[in-house]
Amino acid sequence: MLSDEPVLEVRNVTRKFGGLTAVNDLSFSVRRNSIHGLIGPNGAGKTTTFSLISGYYKPTSGKILYEGQDISGLKTSRLARRGLIRTFQGTTLFQEFSVLDNVRVGCHRSAGASFISRIVGSDAPVERGAERKAREILELFDLEALADEPTSSLPHGHQRALGMAVALAADPVVILLDEPFTGMNPEETRRMMDHVRRVRSERAITIMLVEHDMQAVMGLCERITVMNFGQRLTEGTPDEVCNDPRVIEAYLGQADDAA
Ligand SMILES: Nc1ncnc2c1ncn2[C@@H]1O[C@H](COP(=O)(O)OP(=O)(O)O)[C@@H](O)[C@H]1O
Ligand SMILES: [Mg+2]
């Protein structure tokens, strides 16, 4: 696999819902091992784009390539097995499980074990491997000291970090994060940004994120694609994007609408 081949490529993708065009002839590509942002005012089509990439929706037209192969229309579960993983805002953690057990369950998801064997841990060597791997992942997120705590006892920021730890347990190639910093205080945001950077550098994965917190987006991403009205408005480095009058205008337009 050539390392300069984009890991993900959206080619002229359109998605309509009845008479409404949520995504309109959108094209962009994501470089392997990069942190790539997708921003734009409310209703621009960002979440729909994530849903198209991750297999929740099929494109009305256009193509999505993952590792050079056309994946348009493939189901979420198949894409997840191939390493394309999307996380959701209210991550589905097992609140009554310990922190460690949540990540262990995530490890078995990648191994393709049945749900019951994930819970009861019927295969001892596999189980020890999963536990070791789960503990390593917890360390990446500074959660190792909380491994045996019930998940329900964790504060919001830690729960969000754990959600990402669980996603990482499934050995992703690309993680799609939809608004990972929503509801976090500045300290939680700063720590989560560190985690995202660490995950990218230590695991050589690609991270794509939709986020409203501009400081976080600008601080994390190497490239940013800006959407407006379902289309690509522009793309560039954080500096290029923030100084682009069209981007400023698109966001100001939103402020006017809200007023
Ligand atoms: N399932 C759906 N059915 C109908 N309209 C939808 C659906 N999902 C999104 N839309 C519409 O598509 C547009 C883009 O939405 P969305 O992708 O959620 O934007 P963003 O995430 O950028 O705020 C909006 O006008 C939204 O109302
Ligand atoms: Mg959205």
Can you state the angle between helices 156-169 and 186-203, rounded to 10 degrees? 10
Q: What is the pLDDT of residues 216-247, one digit of tens each?
A: 999 999 999 999 999 999 999 999 999 999 99
What's the pLDDT score for residue 117? Answer: 57
Q: Does the beta carbon of 40 lie inside 6 Å of ligand 1?
A: yes
CA-based R_g, the chain, Å: 19
Please tell me the residue having the least CA distance from ligand 1 atom 4: 17
pLDDT tens for each residue of 71-115: 998 999 899 989 999 886 656 789 999 999 999 988 876 555 555
* Model pLDDT, residue 187: 92
Retrieve residue 8's tokens: 């993900």
Domain range list for the chain: 1-83+173-259, 91-171
Give dist(CA 205, CA 213) in Å, integer: 22
Q: Which amino acid is at 148?
A: D
pLDDT of residue 60: 98
Convert the pLDDT of each residue in 3-23 to its tens digit.
678 999 999 999 999 999 999
Could you count the other beta carbons within 10 Å of the beta carbon of residue 75? 13
> 87 CA to middle of ligand 2, Å?
13
Hey, is 173 helix, strand or coil? Answer: coil
Q: What was the pLDDT predicted at 127?
A: 77
Mean pLDDT of the chain, nearest integer: 89
Rounded Cα distance, 80 and 175, in Å? 10
pLDDT recorded at residue 259 = 47
Half-sphere exposure of 147 (CA within 13 A, CB side): 14
Classify the C-alpha dihedral 81-92-130-176 as positive or negative. Answer: positive
Nearest ligand 1 atom to the CA of 44 is 22
- pLDDT at position 212 is 86
Q: Once rounded to an integer, what is the mean pLDDT over residues 247-255?
A: 84
pTM: 0.89
pLDDT of residue 89: 61
Contact 47, 259 (CB under 8 A): no
β pairing state of 61-66 and 8-17: antiparallel
* Dihedral angle of Cα 47, 49, 55, 61, to the nearest 10 degrees: 140
Our answer on whether the CB atom of 69 is closer than 6 Å to any ligand 1 atom is: no
Question: What band does 124 get if pLDDT is binned at 50, 70 and 90?
Answer: confident
DSSP 116-155: HHHHHT--HHHHHHHHHHHHHHHHHTT-GGGTTSBGGGS-
| 27-43 average pLDDT score | 96
Look at ligand 1, atom 5, and give the residue with the nearest C-alpha. 17
Count CB-CB contacts under 10 A for residue 35. 24
Class of domain 1-83+173-259: alpha beta
Predicted confidence (pLDDT) at residue 121 exceeds the cutoff of 60: no
